Amino acid sequence: DGKRVVSGSWDKTVKIWDADTGAQVLTLTGDAGMVNSVACSPDGKFIVSGSDGKLVKIWDAATGAEIHSLGEHNGQGHCLCELDEDENVEEDEDGEKIIDPECPVTGHSGMVKRVVFSDDGKLVISGGKDNTVRVWDVASGRQVRQLAGNLFAMVEGPSDEHKTHRHVLTARGDTLLIYKVAKGQPHAEEGASGAPMACFKAPQCIKSLRCYGSAIC
């Protein structure tokens, strides 16, 4: 409703501010690293944050309570495969471990760089330094898709026969990938990677990715 502003900080907190007075309303604590990205759900009820602590967190915007810590191994058996030292893991120029996008492990293995809600507020999409983009179900906190790429953008809008579509575009290096994501409550197998519906090569490395309106561009 435009009455609140949300910020993420180097001090590992998320803060909610009154947009009219500038007063601090709530401080959300509990993250293990610098908060790099925050977003609000379309209905204003939830906040999502992504951090250097490799976690995506969903918060209650009214109370500041943590609802889900996505990617945190909490004894519920979320790890879906074992990583051999040389088979599925490599390192980037900073020594950060990067998971092979085809290895469907739940949760990022590196810092989370960006988080967004879908237009209906049912999904959260996160992009990390581990070269994966992950799709989460807000209600259950489960990871429902794992996509390749370290940049992403989402396109939602009408298509043929009065139906709607949702696509997630990702980029890694000079490669642009387009994935179709189910509208509404997802039913994909937890952690499933899934093949892209289209793949394009750019002349140079892709540094940013944005979409305008409901068109894929």
Which is more confidently placed, 181 or 118?
118
Higher pLDDT, 42 or 104: 42
Name which of 186, 180, 135 is nearest 159 in CA terms: 180
Look at residue 99 and tell me whether its pLDDT is greater than 50. no
The larger pLDDT score, comparing residue 106 to residue 114, is at 114
What pLDDT sits at residue 121?
92
- The DSSP-derived string for 74-139 is -SS----SPPPTTTTEEE-TTS-EEE-TTS--SS-SS-EEEEEE-TTSSEEEEEETTSEEEEEETT
List Cα–Cα distances, 70 to 17, 31, 62, 103, in angstroms: 24, 11, 20, 18
DSSP state for residue 21 in the 8-state scheme? T
Per-residue model confidence (pLDDT) at position 90: 46
